[in-house]
Amino acid sequence: MKDNIILDIFNKSFCDYPSIIKNLTPLLIKRMDELKIDVQDLALLESMPSSEIDEIINRIQIENGPLCKKKDLQDFSDIKLGERLINNFFKEIHNSIDLVYNLIISRQLGG
């Protein structure tokens, strides 16, 4: 198992914005605890092929691109923008976890 696939996805999604990674990683970790992201959730993401992980990263980059360019987010002077970015990020993570979970259930039911 990887160290933490969600952190890996976050870092790859915002690799062009090191200040965002540095400033928002603590908020990301706190939100993972609040959302009760567990080993099963991580395992579901880890079961995805790397091409699908790349698609997740791409969607996160597209969704958050305009937000990342805002100076207030890069210098972390507006915490609300940081929270918005983290919320957008986890929306995509949850959608991906749900997709894998639903595919597994569908296969088990013979679909």
Compute the average pLDDT of residues 44-59. Answer: 96
pLDDT(12) > 50: yes
pLDDT(2) > 70: no
SS3 96: helix
Indicate the average pLDDT of the chain: 92
With contact defined as beta carbons under 8 Å apart, do 20 and 68 qualify? yes
Helix axes 79-108, 18-34, angle to 10 degrees: 60
pLDDT at 111: 59
**Residue pLDDT, tens place only, 68-102:** 988 877 777 888 999 999 999 999 999 999 999 99
With contact defined as beta carbons under 8 Å apart, do 76 and 19 qualify? yes
Share of the chain above pLDDT 90, in %: 79
pLDDT(1) > 50: no
